Amino acid sequence: MRQLHFASDNNAGVAPPVLDAVVAEAARTDAAYGWDSTSQRMEEALADVFERPVEVFCVPTGTAANALCLAATNPVWGGVVCHERAHIVVDECAAPTALGGGLTLLPVPAEHGRLEAGAVAAFLDARHDTGVHSVPATSISITQATEAGTRYAPDDIAALADLAHGRGMALHMDGARFANAVAAAGSTPAELSWRSGVDIMSLGATKGGALAAEAIVAFDESRREPLERLRKRSGHLLSKQRFAAAQFNAWFESGRWLGLADHANQQAQRLAEGLTAIGVPLAHPVEANIVFADLEPAAIDNARAAGAQFYMDDPVANPDGTRRIRLVTSWSTEPDDVDALLAALSAMM
Protein backbone atom coordinates (compact mmCIF):
# COMPACT_ATOMS: atom_id res chain seq x y z
CA MET A 1 0.00 0.00 0.00
CA ARG A 2 1.15 3.50 -0.79
CA GLN A 3 2.20 5.40 2.28
CA LEU A 4 1.04 8.97 2.76
CA HIS A 5 3.75 10.62 4.82
CA PHE A 6 2.46 13.41 7.03
CA ALA A 7 4.09 12.39 10.31
CA SER A 8 7.13 14.61 10.04
CA ASP A 9 9.32 16.47 7.62
CA ASN A 10 12.07 14.40 9.20
CA ASN A 11 10.80 11.38 7.30
CA ALA A 12 11.64 12.76 3.89
CA GLY A 13 14.78 11.81 2.01
CA VAL A 14 17.41 14.21 0.72
CA ALA A 15 16.79 16.83 -1.94
CA PRO A 16 18.78 15.86 -5.06
CA PRO A 17 21.03 18.94 -5.23
CA VAL A 18 21.95 18.52 -1.58
CA LEU A 19 22.70 14.88 -2.19
CA ASP A 20 24.83 15.80 -5.19
CA ALA A 21 26.93 18.02 -2.97
CA VAL A 22 27.50 15.17 -0.55
CA VAL A 23 28.56 12.94 -3.40
CA ALA A 24 30.99 15.55 -4.68
CA GLU A 25 32.42 16.06 -1.22
CA ALA A 26 32.92 12.33 -0.79
CA ALA A 27 35.56 12.26 -3.50
CA ARG A 28 37.73 14.82 -1.74
CA THR A 29 40.22 14.59 1.07
CA ASP A 30 40.33 17.58 3.37
CA ALA A 31 40.93 18.60 6.95
CA ALA A 32 38.71 17.38 9.77
CA TYR A 33 36.84 19.27 12.46
CA GLY A 34 35.92 22.25 10.32
CA TRP A 35 39.37 23.29 9.15
CA ASP A 36 38.40 22.55 5.56
CA SER A 37 37.51 24.71 2.59
CA THR A 38 33.88 23.59 2.42
CA SER A 39 33.28 24.72 6.00
CA GLN A 40 34.93 28.01 5.13
CA ARG A 41 32.49 28.48 2.26
CA MET A 42 29.60 27.69 4.59
CA GLU A 43 30.55 30.62 6.79
CA GLU A 44 30.50 32.84 3.73
CA ALA A 45 27.17 31.43 2.60
CA LEU A 46 25.61 32.19 5.96
CA ALA A 47 27.09 35.67 6.04
CA ASP A 48 25.44 36.17 2.68
CA VAL A 49 22.09 34.83 3.84
CA PHE A 50 22.11 37.03 6.94
CA GLU A 51 23.72 40.06 5.31
CA ARG A 52 26.42 40.26 7.96
CA PRO A 53 29.22 38.20 9.48
CA VAL A 54 27.92 35.51 11.83
CA GLU A 55 29.43 32.90 14.09
CA VAL A 56 28.36 29.50 12.72
CA PHE A 57 28.70 26.12 14.37
CA CYS A 58 27.54 22.97 12.61
CA VAL A 59 25.95 20.37 14.84
CA PRO A 60 24.32 17.07 13.94
CA THR A 61 20.87 17.61 15.47
CA GLY A 62 18.37 20.35 16.16
CA THR A 63 18.26 19.33 19.80
CA ALA A 64 21.99 19.94 20.03
CA ALA A 65 21.62 23.30 18.35
CA ASN A 66 18.92 24.44 20.76
CA ALA A 67 20.60 23.09 23.85
CA LEU A 68 23.98 24.60 23.02
CA CYS A 69 22.46 27.95 22.07
CA LEU A 70 20.82 28.08 25.48
CA ALA A 71 23.90 26.79 27.28
CA ALA A 72 25.91 29.61 25.74
CA THR A 73 23.42 32.36 26.58
CA ASN A 74 22.24 31.48 30.08
CA PRO A 75 24.11 30.98 33.33
CA VAL A 76 23.63 27.51 34.77
CA TRP A 77 21.26 28.99 37.34
CA GLY A 78 19.17 30.75 34.70
CA GLY A 79 15.67 30.19 33.39
CA VAL A 80 14.41 30.13 29.81
CA VAL A 81 10.93 31.48 29.16
CA CYS A 82 9.35 29.49 26.35
CA HIS A 83 6.04 28.24 25.03
CA GLU A 84 4.64 25.33 27.02
CA ARG A 85 4.52 23.25 23.85
CA ALA A 86 7.94 24.32 22.58
CA HIS A 87 10.15 21.59 21.18
CA ILE A 88 12.68 22.30 23.92
CA VAL A 89 10.00 21.56 26.52
CA VAL A 90 8.21 18.54 25.13
CA ASP A 91 10.52 16.86 22.65
CA GLU A 92 14.10 17.09 23.83
CA CYS A 93 14.05 15.12 27.09
CA ALA A 94 15.43 18.18 28.89
CA ALA A 95 18.49 18.49 26.67
CA PRO A 96 18.79 22.24 27.33
CA THR A 97 18.88 21.47 31.04
CA ALA A 98 21.36 18.65 30.56
CA LEU A 99 23.78 20.53 28.30
CA GLY A 100 23.12 23.85 30.02
CA GLY A 101 24.47 22.71 33.36
CA GLY A 102 21.08 22.53 35.01
CA LEU A 103 19.25 25.53 33.64
CA THR A 104 15.49 25.64 34.03
CA LEU A 105 12.79 25.87 31.39
CA LEU A 106 9.93 28.20 32.30
CA PRO A 107 7.00 27.18 30.09
CA VAL A 108 4.11 29.56 29.51
CA PRO A 109 0.87 28.89 27.67
CA ALA A 110 0.03 30.97 24.61
CA GLU A 111 -2.40 30.68 21.75
CA HIS A 112 -1.26 29.16 18.47
CA GLY A 113 2.21 28.35 19.74
CA ARG A 114 3.25 31.97 19.71
CA LEU A 115 4.55 33.93 22.67
CA GLU A 116 3.40 37.53 22.86
CA ALA A 117 5.51 40.21 24.49
CA GLY A 118 2.78 41.60 26.69
CA ALA A 119 1.82 38.20 28.03
CA VAL A 120 5.44 37.31 28.68
CA ALA A 121 5.92 40.56 30.57
CA ALA A 122 2.89 39.73 32.69
CA PHE A 123 4.23 36.24 33.31
CA LEU A 124 7.55 37.66 34.44
CA ASP A 125 5.90 40.22 36.68
CA ALA A 126 3.73 37.61 38.35
CA ARG A 127 6.68 35.34 39.19
CA HIS A 128 7.63 35.63 42.82
CA ASP A 129 11.20 36.88 42.82
CA THR A 130 12.65 35.69 46.10
CA GLY A 131 16.14 36.81 45.24
CA VAL A 132 18.74 34.14 45.31
CA HIS A 133 16.12 31.53 46.17
CA SER A 134 14.24 31.68 42.90
CA VAL A 135 15.42 30.91 39.39
CA PRO A 136 15.88 34.17 37.47
CA ALA A 137 14.50 34.35 33.95
CA THR A 138 17.59 34.96 31.86
CA SER A 139 16.35 34.40 28.32
CA ILE A 140 13.34 33.95 26.07
CA SER A 141 13.22 31.22 23.46
CA ILE A 142 10.82 31.27 20.54
CA THR A 143 10.35 28.92 17.60
CA GLN A 144 10.11 30.14 14.01
CA ALA A 145 8.01 28.71 12.39
CA THR A 146 6.30 27.65 15.62
CA GLU A 147 5.43 24.14 16.68
CA ALA A 148 1.80 25.09 15.95
CA GLY A 149 2.64 25.88 12.34
CA THR A 150 2.33 29.63 12.81
CA ARG A 151 4.87 32.40 12.39
CA TYR A 152 6.23 35.42 14.19
CA ALA A 153 6.25 38.67 12.22
CA PRO A 154 9.36 40.86 12.59
CA ASP A 155 7.42 43.17 14.89
CA ASP A 156 6.40 40.28 17.13
CA ILE A 157 10.05 39.31 17.45
CA ALA A 158 11.19 42.86 18.03
CA ALA A 159 8.70 43.29 20.86
CA LEU A 160 9.99 40.14 22.54
CA ALA A 161 13.58 41.21 21.97
CA ASP A 162 12.91 44.61 23.50
CA LEU A 163 11.31 42.97 26.49
CA ALA A 164 14.19 40.55 26.88
CA HIS A 165 16.98 43.05 26.45
CA GLY A 166 15.24 45.55 28.70
CA ARG A 167 15.45 43.02 31.50
CA GLY A 168 18.96 41.82 30.76
CA MET A 169 17.75 38.66 29.06
CA ALA A 170 18.76 37.14 25.72
CA LEU A 171 16.48 36.11 22.86
CA HIS A 172 16.94 32.71 21.26
CA MET A 173 15.14 31.45 18.18
CA ASP A 174 14.67 27.78 17.37
CA GLY A 175 14.81 27.87 13.59
CA ALA A 176 14.34 24.19 12.82
CA ARG A 177 11.78 25.41 10.26
CA PHE A 178 13.22 28.90 9.74
CA ALA A 179 13.25 28.24 6.00
CA ASN A 180 9.49 27.70 6.02
CA ALA A 181 9.01 30.92 7.93
CA VAL A 182 11.22 32.96 5.62
CA ALA A 183 9.66 31.45 2.50
CA ALA A 184 6.18 32.31 3.72
CA ALA A 185 6.88 35.65 5.31
CA GLY A 186 8.01 37.96 2.61
CA SER A 187 10.67 39.10 5.08
CA THR A 188 14.40 38.54 4.83
CA PRO A 189 16.35 36.18 7.09
CA ALA A 190 17.95 39.26 8.63
CA GLU A 191 14.59 40.87 9.36
CA LEU A 192 13.37 37.68 10.98
CA SER A 193 16.45 37.36 13.17
CA TRP A 194 19.13 39.85 14.22
CA ARG A 195 17.48 42.94 12.77
CA SER A 196 14.53 42.15 15.05
CA GLY A 197 16.79 41.51 18.01
CA VAL A 198 17.45 37.76 17.98
CA ASP A 199 20.77 37.10 19.74
CA ILE A 200 21.34 33.50 18.78
CA MET A 201 19.46 30.94 16.75
CA SER A 202 19.29 27.33 15.71
CA LEU A 203 19.03 26.93 11.97
CA GLY A 204 17.99 23.59 10.56
CA ALA A 205 18.34 22.22 7.07
CA THR A 206 17.57 18.58 7.88
CA LYS A 207 13.77 18.94 7.78
CA GLY A 208 14.16 21.13 4.70
CA GLY A 209 15.94 18.66 2.45
CA ALA A 210 19.32 17.85 3.98
CA LEU A 211 20.58 14.58 5.39
CA ALA A 212 21.83 15.92 8.70
CA ALA A 213 22.75 19.59 8.76
CA GLU A 214 21.94 21.87 11.66
CA ALA A 215 23.69 24.97 12.80
CA ILE A 216 24.03 27.39 15.64
CA VAL A 217 24.13 30.96 14.36
CA ALA A 218 25.31 33.58 16.84
CA PHE A 219 25.17 37.29 16.14
CA ASP A 220 27.77 38.19 18.73
CA GLU A 221 31.34 37.09 18.37
CA SER A 222 31.89 36.94 22.13
CA ARG A 223 30.00 33.67 22.08
CA ARG A 224 32.58 31.96 19.90
CA GLU A 225 34.72 30.37 22.58
CA PRO A 226 31.87 29.15 24.79
CA LEU A 227 30.15 27.64 21.77
CA GLU A 228 33.28 25.95 20.46
CA ARG A 229 34.04 24.46 23.83
CA LEU A 230 30.49 23.46 24.69
CA ARG A 231 30.02 21.87 21.27
CA LYS A 232 33.19 19.83 21.57
CA ARG A 233 32.67 18.61 25.11
CA SER A 234 29.10 17.56 24.39
CA GLY A 235 30.34 15.45 21.48
CA HIS A 236 28.82 17.63 18.76
CA LEU A 237 31.90 18.59 16.77
CA LEU A 238 31.74 16.39 13.67
CA SER A 239 35.06 14.97 12.50
CA LYS A 240 34.02 15.13 8.86
CA GLN A 241 32.15 18.38 9.35
CA ARG A 242 32.68 19.28 5.70
CA PHE A 243 29.83 16.96 4.76
CA ALA A 244 27.41 18.98 6.86
CA ALA A 245 28.85 22.16 5.42
CA ALA A 246 28.46 20.81 1.90
CA GLN A 247 24.78 20.20 2.55
CA PHE A 248 24.29 23.74 3.79
CA ASN A 249 26.16 25.19 0.82
CA ALA A 250 24.00 23.36 -1.69
CA TRP A 251 20.86 24.15 0.27
CA PHE A 252 21.51 27.87 0.38
CA GLU A 253 22.73 28.05 -3.23
CA SER A 254 20.61 30.35 -5.41
CA GLY A 255 17.80 30.43 -2.84
CA ARG A 256 17.21 26.71 -3.12
CA TRP A 257 16.37 26.46 0.59
CA LEU A 258 13.44 28.83 0.12
CA GLY A 259 12.19 27.02 -2.95
CA LEU A 260 12.12 23.72 -1.08
CA ALA A 261 10.37 25.34 1.86
CA ASP A 262 7.89 27.10 -0.37
CA HIS A 263 6.90 23.77 -1.88
CA ALA A 264 6.24 22.34 1.58
CA ASN A 265 4.28 25.42 2.58
CA GLN A 266 2.13 25.21 -0.52
CA GLN A 267 1.26 21.59 0.17
CA ALA A 268 0.18 22.61 3.67
CA GLN A 269 -2.03 25.30 2.14
CA ARG A 270 -3.51 22.78 -0.28
CA LEU A 271 -4.19 20.47 2.64
CA ALA A 272 -5.68 23.21 4.80
CA GLU A 273 -7.97 24.37 2.03
CA GLY A 274 -9.06 20.83 1.33
CA LEU A 275 -9.80 20.16 4.98
CA THR A 276 -11.78 23.34 5.28
CA ALA A 277 -13.70 22.43 2.14
CA ILE A 278 -14.82 19.15 3.70
CA GLY A 279 -15.69 20.83 6.98
CA VAL A 280 -12.77 19.77 9.12
CA PRO A 281 -11.89 22.49 11.63
CA LEU A 282 -8.28 23.62 11.80
CA ALA A 283 -6.81 24.25 15.21
CA HIS A 284 -4.30 26.91 14.24
CA PRO A 285 -3.74 29.28 11.33
CA VAL A 286 -1.68 27.49 8.68
CA GLU A 287 1.32 29.75 8.13
CA ALA A 288 4.09 27.31 7.32
CA ASN A 289 4.14 23.56 6.65
CA ILE A 290 2.14 22.11 9.54
CA VAL A 291 -1.63 21.63 9.78
CA PHE A 292 -3.55 20.77 12.93
CA ALA A 293 -7.02 19.36 12.41
CA ASP A 294 -9.72 18.11 14.77
CA LEU A 295 -11.15 14.87 13.42
CA GLU A 296 -13.64 12.22 14.36
CA PRO A 297 -11.93 9.01 15.49
CA ALA A 298 -13.53 7.16 12.60
CA ALA A 299 -12.01 9.55 10.09
CA ILE A 300 -8.62 9.04 11.69
CA ASP A 301 -8.99 5.30 11.43
CA ASN A 302 -10.01 5.59 7.81
CA ALA A 303 -7.05 7.78 6.93
CA ARG A 304 -4.70 5.34 8.57
CA ALA A 305 -6.31 2.49 6.72
CA ALA A 306 -5.57 4.42 3.54
CA GLY A 307 -1.87 4.52 4.42
CA ALA A 308 -1.72 7.93 6.05
CA GLN A 309 0.90 8.46 8.72
CA PHE A 310 0.63 11.26 11.25
CA TYR A 311 0.78 11.88 14.98
CA MET A 312 -1.90 12.71 17.50
CA ASP A 313 -1.24 16.10 18.98
CA ASP A 314 -2.54 15.11 22.40
CA PRO A 315 -2.90 11.90 24.34
CA VAL A 316 -6.49 12.74 25.20
CA ALA A 317 -9.53 13.54 23.11
CA ASN A 318 -11.03 17.00 22.71
CA PRO A 319 -14.14 17.66 24.80
CA ASP A 320 -16.34 17.03 21.74
CA GLY A 321 -14.84 13.62 21.15
CA THR A 322 -12.69 14.62 18.21
CA ARG A 323 -8.96 14.10 18.25
CA ARG A 324 -6.43 16.68 17.20
CA ILE A 325 -3.92 15.43 14.67
CA ARG A 326 -0.77 17.01 13.30
CA LEU A 327 -0.06 16.83 9.56
CA VAL A 328 3.36 17.93 8.33
CA THR A 329 4.28 18.49 4.71
CA SER A 330 7.80 18.59 3.32
CA TRP A 331 9.82 19.46 0.24
CA SER A 332 9.02 15.96 -1.03
CA THR A 333 5.27 15.92 -0.41
CA GLU A 334 3.40 15.39 -3.65
CA PRO A 335 0.09 17.15 -4.35
CA ASP A 336 -1.24 13.67 -5.04
CA ASP A 337 -0.38 12.67 -1.49
CA VAL A 338 -2.39 15.60 -0.19
CA ASP A 339 -5.30 14.76 -2.39
CA ALA A 340 -5.20 11.11 -1.44
CA LEU A 341 -5.29 12.04 2.22
CA LEU A 342 -8.17 14.41 1.68
CA ALA A 343 -10.05 11.75 -0.25
CA ALA A 344 -9.62 9.25 2.57
CA LEU A 345 -10.90 11.77 5.06
CA SER A 346 -13.82 13.06 3.01
CA ALA A 347 -15.02 9.54 2.35
CA MET A 348 -15.91 9.50 6.03
CA MET A 349 -17.53 12.86 6.41
Residues 27-46 that bind its own copies (CB under 8 A): 27-33
Q: Is residue 90 a contact residue for its own copies (CB under 8 A)?
A: yes
Closest approach, Cβ 272 to its own copies, in A, equals 21
**Choices 147-155, 257-265, 286-294, 312-320; region in contact with its own copies by CB under 8 A:** 312-320
Closest approach, Cβ 225 to its own copies, in A, equals 8
Q: Is residue 62 a contact residue for its own copies (CB under 8 A)?
A: yes
Closest approach, Cβ 22 to its own copies, in A, equals 7
Q: What is the 3-state secondary structure (H, E, C) of the chain?
A: CCCEECCCHHHCCCCHHHHHHHHHHHCCCCCCCCCCHHHHHHHHHHHHHHCCCCEEEEECCHHHHHHHHHHHHCCCCCEEEEECCCHHHHCCCCHHHHHCCCCEEEEECCHHHCCCHHHHHHHHHHCCCCHHHCCCEEEEEEECCCCCCCCCCHHHHHHHHHHHHHCCCEEEEEECCHHHHHHHHCCCCCCCCHHHCCCEEEEECCCCCCCCCEEEEECCHHHHHHHHHHHHHCCCCCCCHHHHHHHHHHHHHHHHHHHHHHHHHHHHHHHHHHHHHCCCCECCCCCCCEEEEEECHHHHHHHHHCCEECEECCCCCCCCCCEEEEEECCCCCCHHHHHHHHHHHHCCC
Q: Which residue number, 99 or 169, has a Cβ lying nearer to its own copies?
A: 99
Subset of 167-226 contacting its own copies (CB under 8 A): 206-207, 211-212, 226
Subset of 237-276 contacting its own copies (CB under 8 A): 237-240, 243-244
Size of the site for its own copies (CB under 8 A): 84
Q: Is residue 127 a contact residue for its own copies (CB under 8 A)?
A: yes
Q: Which candidate, 141, 10, 26, places its Cα nearest to that of 84?
A: 141
Q: Which residue number, 141 or 196, has a Cβ lying nearer to its own copies?
A: 141
Q: Which residue number, 228 or 339, has a Cβ lying nearer to its own copies?
A: 228
Closest approach, Cβ 48 to its own copies, in A, equals 26
Applying CB under 8 A, which of residues 17, 41, 84, 98 lies at the interface with its own copies? Answer: 98
Q: Is residue 230 a contact residue for its own copies (CB under 8 A)?
A: yes
Burial class (CB in 10 A: 0-12, 13-18, 19+), 227: buried
Subset of 7-26 contacting its own copies (CB under 8 A): 7-8, 10-14, 16, 19, 22-23, 25-26
Q: Which residue number, 189 or 208, has a Cβ lying nearer to its own copies?
A: 208
Q: Which residue number, 135 or 278, has a Cβ lying nearer to its own copies?
A: 135
Applying CB under 8 A, which of residues 44, 51, 53, 102 lies at the interface with its own copies? Answer: 102
Q: Which residue number, 40 or 276, has a Cβ lying nearer to its own copies?
A: 40
Strand-pair category, 311-312 with 137-143? unpaired
Q: Is 157 left (phi over 0), alpha (psi -120 to 50) or beta?
A: alpha
Q: Which residue number, 97 or 144, has a Cβ lying nearer to its own copies?
A: 97
Q: Which residue number, 166 or 315, has a Cβ lying nearer to its own copies?
A: 315
Applying CB under 8 A, which of residues 1, 128, 186, 320 lies at the interface with its own copies? Answer: 128
Q: Which residue number, 94 or 278, has a Cβ lying nearer to its own copies?
A: 94
**Choices 189-197, 266-274, 285-293, 314-322; region in contact with its own copies by CB under 8 A:** 314-322
Please calculate the CA angle 156-153-207 and round it to the nearest 5 degrees: 120
